[in-house]
Structure 1
Amino acid sequence: MDKQTLTRHSIEILKKLISFNSESHLSNLSLINYIKGVIEQSNQDTEAHIHLSYDNDKKKANILISLPDIHGSLSGGILLSGHTDVVPVADQQWQTNPYEMIEKSGRLYGRGSCDMKGFVAVCLAMFPLFKGIKRRHPIHMAFSYDEEVGCLGAEVLSSHMKELGIIPTIAIIGEPTEMEIVIGHKGCCEYTTTFTGLPGHSSLPTIGVNAIEYAINYAKKLLNLRDSLINSAPKDSPFTPPYTTLQIGKIQGGSAHNIIAEYCSVDWQIRPIQQQDFDFVHEHIDQYAHEQLVPNMQAVYPQAKIDKQMVSEIKGLVPVNKSLAKKYLSHLTGKQRTSVVSYGTEAGIFHDLGCSTVVCGPGSIEQAHKADEFICIKQLEQCAEMLLQLQNDSKC
Structure 2
Amino acid sequence: MDLSVEHGCPQCGAPVSIAESDRFSFCPFCKVSNYIINPTGARYALPCGESLDQESGDLYFIPYIRFRGSVFLVSGREISHRIVDTTQLGFTDLLFPPSLGLRPQAMKLLRVSPQTSGRFLPLTIKTQSILARAANLSAMASGGDSQILHRAYIGESLSFIYMPVRQEEKNLFDAVTNSALSPVPTDTFLEERSKPFQRKWQSDFIAALCPQCGWELKGEGDCLAVPCDNCDTVWEVSAKGLQKLEWQQGESQDTMAMWLPFWKISTAIPELSIRTFADYARVTRQPSTGGRPKKEEMMSFFIPAFKVRPKVFLQTATRMTSAQNLFHPAPGGGHISRRYPANLALSEARQALKITLAASTLNKKEVYPLLPRIRFTNVCAKLVYLPFHDDGHDLIQKQSGVAIAKNVLSWGKKL
TM-score (norm 2): 0.22
Bigger fraction of residues in strand? 2
Q: TM-score, with normalisation over the residues of structure 1?
A: 0.22
